[in-house]
Structure formats: structure tokens, C-alpha cells
Structure 1
Amino acid sequence: MAKKCSLLLLAFVLYLIHCQSTIAQLQNKISAIDLDALHQIKNTLIDIHAVSSPHFFSSWDFASGDPCSSFAGVTCSSSEQPRRVESLVLGTGLSGSPGFAGTLSPFIANLTELSQLVLFAGIVTGSIPSELGSLKKLRVISLTNNLLTGTIPASIFSLPDLHTLDLGHNQLSGTMPPTISASIQLKVLVLADNKISGQLPRGFPEKLLHLDFSQNNISGMLPARMSASLRYLSASQNRMWGPLNCLESTLELEYLDLSMNNFSGGLPTSLFQPKLTSMLLQRNNLSGGFPPLAPYPYGPGSIIDLSRNFLTGELTRVLVGVESLFLNNNQLKGTVPKEYFGSLSLGKTKTLYLQHNYITGFPTAAESSWPPWDLVAVCISYNCMEVPVVVGIMACPSGIGEQISRPAYQCSAFHNRNTTPKEKED
């Protein structure tokens, strides 16, 4: 009797184990729709792997593997049954990883619980599936450093929770969809290094923090009012023009790069504020002078480049303390304030380029007052000083020319006229 009871107990225990195993399998079962979508995504991408490295898709074993626990780059929900794909990261992002070729499957849109879609660098071609606009839970779309073509699907900007859209370094064309401003939760927008043309939309989302559309073919002016929350703005190497008055509301800016465009007019006083420690406005048509403000406490790493513009008047103290300051190839005159020399002596300023202006005086001091030569780079050649400062010549960039001072007739003509030269000095 005891033996029979033991056998019955053993059978019951085995039954429980079987039930628990079955329940666990049911709990880990992925949605059939999501499973098919993963199949389709894999079929349209080619894993360009090095001989010594494994395939990214080597873990995608549809015969026996569990996509939610063993597929590289796939993250599923933990509570919903059947389980749904919530994050899809295609590639490793490791240095030297060649990524994928092929195209992006429109079947991605069947992953209706997807909140994050990332495609790391490779040579993926074709267009961005417009079907992505149906994935209402998407928060992050990052498809950078590939060869994607076509236009940006306007439907993407209707996603209610979209936080980050990074499509930089592809071959996208067309214009920016006017629906961008409707993306109320968008905080990061990167479209750099594409072939986008036309003019900007009338506005951008109010909550936008990071905006980068540099290295495109965009023309026209900046919107009349930029997002007040912006901290990073890069529009360099486009064909934009007009004044910078729209930046007066961007008091949170920390990084600004509008270099190599055709912007004109004066420098808004609002740009000279402590948070903005990287201001790159070189190679434009900016004019006017500097505001007579006291210097801000610029710290290590600060850089301001206003070179190759049409800035006039005398240099004020407003930029004292900037670590790397480039004011060369403008139309500045007068004497450089002594505080700039003091900032060099203290090691706060490490680069000061003032060459190719009409400056008539630079603070002089004993040779012993200068910081070590390997710690500073100062260039003040080709100005209108009667006795050029030798120390401001030795550190000039190569190719600046053999003339240390401007010819006297140029200085005389400049200081005796009220109009400014029509072309920038090279």
C-alpha cells in the first residue's frame, strides 16, 4: 500500500512539473504576428559580418529559439500575453562593425507595441517605410549612417509619443515635412548630412531640445521664432540667409553652429550669455559690432568662432576668457582690451586669432609675462599696428602669407572712410 501511494505521489509531482513547464511555455510564447514580422525583417537585411565575428542574426533561430529571450536586439513585454516586441535594435554599434545591407521591411509596422527602433551604421538602402507612422507607441527612431533614400515620411510626425528621431548621415532628399511642428513630444531631431532641400517649416516643436540639420541644401531663413527650450542648434553648411533675430528667445542654448551659410545682420545681444559656450558663426555675412557688455565666466572648452565675416568697430571685453577665440578676417579696429592679454597669461584663453583685421594696438608686456609657447596660439599679423607683436606672429596658421603688417595705404584708406569693404579678406 505504501509503495502504491509513493507511485501515485510521484505521478502527481511529475504532472505538476509538466503543467508548470506548459504554463511557462505559454507565458513565453510570442505573438504570431510579431514572429512573422521578425521573419520578414530578417529576410530583407543582409548581415555584413567579418570572417572572425559572428552573424548578428546567428541567434535568430526560428526553429527552436525563443525570440524574447535569445534573439539579439529583441526585447519583449514581460506581462502581456502573448508577448509583444517592444524594442528592436538591429546591429551592435561596435566600432568596426560593418552593419547590414538590404532594405527596411514595411512589416516592421506589424510590431504594434514597438517603442524603440534602432538601425546601426551600415549600407542599408531604399526608403524609410511610411508604415512606421502607424506605430503609435514609438518613442525612439534611430536609422543613422546608412544609405537610405527618398523623403522623410510625414506620417512619422503624427506619432503621439515620439521623443527622438535621428535620420542623420543618409541620402534622404525632398523637403522637411511641415507636420514637424505637430510632433508635440519631440525633443531630439537629427537630419544632418543628407540631401534635404527647400525651406524650413514655419516652426518646430516647442519642447525641442536638440536640432541638427547641418550639411544639407536647405535655403531661406530660420523660422521667425525658434523653440525657447533649444539647447543645441546646428545648421552649418547649408544655403541659408537672413538675420539672427529669431535666436533672441533661445536663452537655453549651449551649442550653436550656423557656420558656412549666408546669414547677415548684427549679432543679437542674447547670444552673449553664460550657457552658450560654443558659438560657431564663421563664414557668413554678419556685420556690426560687439555689445559693450562685461565678460561672462567662460570656462574650459568654450569656443567662439566669428571669423570671416564683416564685423566692425572695436573689440569689447565681452569675450574675455573664451578658451578658443577666432575673430580673424573681419574689419575690427582700435586697440585690443588688456583683459584679453590677462586671460592669456592666466591660461584661460589658449587660442586667440585676430589676424586680417585693422587693429591698431595690442597690449604689450615683458616677454616673461607670456605663458609657455606650447600652451597658447596667438596670431595678430596683417593688422595696422606700427610695431607688430612678434609673439603674435609665430603661432599663426600656415599659409597666412609673409606680410606681417598691412600696407600703410590700406590702413589709411580704411580709417579715413565711413563705408566698409565689400568683400571679406582671405
Structure 2
Amino acid sequence: MEKNPHALLLLLFLLLLNLSLPSLQQKLDALDLRALVSIKNSLTDVPSRRSRAGFFSTWDFASSDPCSSFSGITCSSLGRVTTLTLGTGLAGSLPPAVSDLAELTQLILYPGIVTGPIPTQLGRLVNLRVISLTNNRLTGQIPSTLSLLTKLHTLDLSYNHLTGSVPPGLTRLPMLKVLILSSNDISGDIPSVLSQLLHLDFSRNRLTGHLPQPLPSTLRYVSLAENDLAGPISGFFDSISDLVHLDLSMNRFSGALPASLFRTSLPSLLLQRNNLSGWVPSVVPEDQPSYGEGSIVDLSHNSLTGELSPILASVESLYLNNNRLIRKVPREYVKSVDVGTTRTLYLQHNYLSGFPVQPGWVLPDTVSLCLSYNCMVPPVGLAACPTSAGTELSRPASQCTVFNYG
């Protein structure tokens, strides 16, 4: 049979082409490939009613290219894994082999029931910029080796079962901007050096001691709520001019409120359930901007005294209940409620003696106002009061007379 020279040439070309192409798995660095195999062996998909296909359903090492087909994987042009995003609903533990992904810049673990410690070997991944391991059941201490990650920008270990203290070197990392350790069982003091942080959240832990001084001027968001922190808060916020959220609620802070907290109309100020005393400045600075839409100030359940300052009259949601405020409510608050600037105003359980409205005044439908248990009969009903306010309209006259709050 006569052979077709064109067919032979085509067959030879295809054979040479096939020999020159690497296998699918050869596209990924061999060390990274072994690390991914170890990760899959250490974690499992938890069955879900919403989806039959788990996160690892695309991780087929026999026939797929990890760089192009595996969920949660991004690779560089050199075949090294640069981002690893482990999906929702995984169980098991994080293996030390994660640290073999030498070019990794982002390590993200979505909510699941992953247990065990955070591998100390992560400190070898010098290119890491983001670590987010939230909403799982990780245990043990925060590895001090994370303090070696000089390129780290974001660390979020919230909603786990981590114990121990905050590694001091962690808060000194030069590139770290976001540090979230909330909802764990972390104890001890807050490190004194907080680098150039923008976002700090240590809420819902067992931290003790005082606020570190000074706080970095770069901070925009601070939450230390629900700890066991104590001492004064004055003097710590003088240099933080761009702060937009401060939550120190449910601690044991004491002393007077610093005037610096009210100079920039901080749109989210939560100091409730502490032992704070005194009151805010009575004079509103001429250049102070109004609080505006969406603002919230909660100073409830403290020991604030004196007359109610007009400086907070433009806050949208204002909680001053359960303090020791006296005299009449300034007309600025009535006006703000009347025009709808203030939508929530809780003043119950104080010693206020009046809310100056005209006869026949009607509370706007969009406003929640509570004035119960003061030294007056509220001009409006209790429909807008929370259940915790109780059913008594006014304080006993003896309390108002003894303390001259009438």
C-alpha cells in the first residue's frame, strides 16, 4: 500500500507536539502540588442540603489542572499558587503543608467547623499579605511566628476559640492595617505598640488592663467592646482626628468623658455599660460639623450627670438612658425630633424634669422616643419605649426632691 507522505508528516508533527507538552499536573510546581494534596487530605466537605457538590469537587488531581480548574486556586505564570481560598462548610484541620506554598499572598478560610491550631509554619510564608480564618473552631494560641510576616496587611482570626495573649510583635508589623481578633477567648493586656493600623477589633474577648497610650493617629475603626478593660479613657483620642467608629462598650472604664470625643462629630460612638461619669461639653464649637444621617451615640448605663448638652442634638440614634441627667431637655433635641433628624432618642431612667413641647404636639411616626421614669410625666406615651424601660411613667417624688432634681 502506498503511504501518504502528508499523513506521515502530520502524524510525526502531532507526536512531537505531544512529547513537547507537559502533563496537566506538571503545570503546577511539584512542591505546591504535594501541598494541595495534603490540604485536601486534611479537610473534608460537610454535607449540605443546599449543594450536593462540595468545595473539593473540582479538585481532581488525576485529570485537571489545579491552576485553571481547582476552586479557590490562583497561580502565577511560573506555576506557583499565589492565593488559596478554602470554601464554606469545611471540617478537619489546617495542615502544616500550607506553608509549602512559598509564593502564597492570600490565605482565606470561609466559615466552617475547621478545628485545631493555626500552623506555626505560616511564619515562613514571607509574601503573605492577607490571612483570614474566620468563623471556625480553631484553638490554641495565635502563633508568634506570624510576627515575621513583614508584608502582612490584613489578619482576621475572628469567631474562633483562640486563647492566650496577643503576640506583641504582631502589632508592630510595618504593613499591617487591619487586625481583627474578635469573638475569641484571648486574654492579657493590649500591646502598647499598634503600628499604623486603620482597623482594630479585639471585641468579645477577655482582655484586661488599660487602653494603650497613645493610640496611632491612623486609626479609623476601633472596637474593644465586651472585655474587662478598665481605667480612664481621657487623653487617648486627642490625636485621632479621622476616627469614624469607636466601641468601648461593656467594659469597666471610668472617669470623665474626654472633650476630644465630641470635637469631630464621631459618627459611631458606643460607650454604653461602663462606669463613666461627668458630662460632655455644654458649648458647641462653631466649626463642629453636625452628626448627620446614620450617626449613633450610645452613652447609656453609665453615671453621667449634669444637664443634657445640646452638642448631641443632631445625632440620628441617641441613647442616654440609665444615667443621672437633670433639668429640662434642651429645645434643640425637641426640634431635632420634630423634623426627623433624630429618629431614636432614649432618655428613660434619668432625673430629667421636662420635655418642652407645645400642647397637642404629636410624635412623628418615624421617631422612637422614650422619656419614662424621670422626674416628670412624659408628654407622650410609652409606645416607643423598649420593654426594658418598665411600665412606670415617673420616678417617685421623693427621689426628685432629695436630689433637688425637680
TM (norm. structure 1) is 0.88
**Do 1:221 and 1:240's aligned partners in 2 also have CA atoms closer than 8 Å?**
yes
Counterparts of 1:316 and 1:246 in 2: how far apart (Å)? 22
Other-structure match for 1:422: none
Counterparts of 2:48 and 2:384 in 1: how far apart (Å)? 45
Structure 1 stretches of 4+ with a deviation exceeding 6 A read none
Instruction: Select 2:30's aligned residue among 26, 29, 32.
Output: 32
Other-structure match for 1:381: 372
Amino acid at match of 2:61: F
Other-structure match for 2:81: 85
**Do 1:158 and 1:182's aligned partners in 2 also have CA atoms closer than 8 Å?**
no
Other-structure match for 1:349: 342
Q: CA deviation at 1:296?
A: 3.5
Larger mean CA deviation between 24-33 and 178-187 belongs to 24-33
Q: Percent identity between the aligned chains?
A: 53
Amino acid at match of 2:30: A
Amino acid at match of 2:43: L
**1:396-423 CA distance string (max 9 Å, x none):** 222433332222221122238xxxxxxx
Instruction: Select 2:277's aligned residue among 287, 290, 293.
Output: 287
Amino acid at match of 2:358: A
Confirm or deny that 1:234 pairs with 2:230. no
RMSD (Å) for aligned C-alpha atoms: 2.1
Other-structure match for 1:139: 129
Other-structure match for 1:218: 207
Amino acid at match of 1:190: I
Unaligned runs of 5+ in 2: none
Counterparts of 1:212 and 1:329 in 2: how far apart (Å)? 27
Q: CA deviation at 1:17?
A: 4.6
Other-structure match for 2:354: 361
**Do 1:114 and 1:138's aligned partners in 2 also have CA atoms closer than 8 Å?**
yes
Counterparts of 2:91 and 2:5 in 1: how far apart (Å)? 63
Counterparts of 1:189 and 1:281 in 2: how far apart (Å)? 21
Amino acid at match of 1:322: V
The 5-angstrom pairing of residues 25-424 of structure 1 reads: 29-50=27-48, 52-78=51-77, 80=78, 83-91=79-87, 93=88, 99-206=89-196, 208-244=197-233, 245-274=235-264, 276-294=266-284, 296-368=289-361, 370-372=362-364, 374-385=365-376, 388-391=377-380, 393-415=382-404
Q: CA deviation at 1:214?
A: 0.7
TM (norm. structure 2) is 0.92
- Indicate how the Cα distance of structure 1 residues 348 and 24 shifts in structure 2: closer, same or farther if over 3 A, else same: farther
**1:107-134 CA distance string (max 9 Å, x none):** 0010000000011111111100000011
Counterparts of 2:193 and 2:403 in 1: how far apart (Å)? 42
Amino acid at match of 2:206: N
More strand by share: 2
Counterparts of 2:8 and 2:94 in 1: how far apart (Å)? 56
**Aligned residues between the structures:** 398
Counterparts of 1:14 and 1:405 in 2: how far apart (Å)? 93
Q: CA deviation at 1:392?
A: 5.5
Amino acid at match of 2:325: L
Counterparts of 1:4 and 1:293 in 2: how far apart (Å)? 100
Counterparts of 2:25 and 2:206 in 1: how far apart (Å)? 51
- Indicate how the Cα distance of structure 1 residues 293 and 9 shifts in structure 2: closer, same or farther if over 3 A, else same: farther
Larger mean CA deviation between 257-266 and 355-364 belongs to 355-364
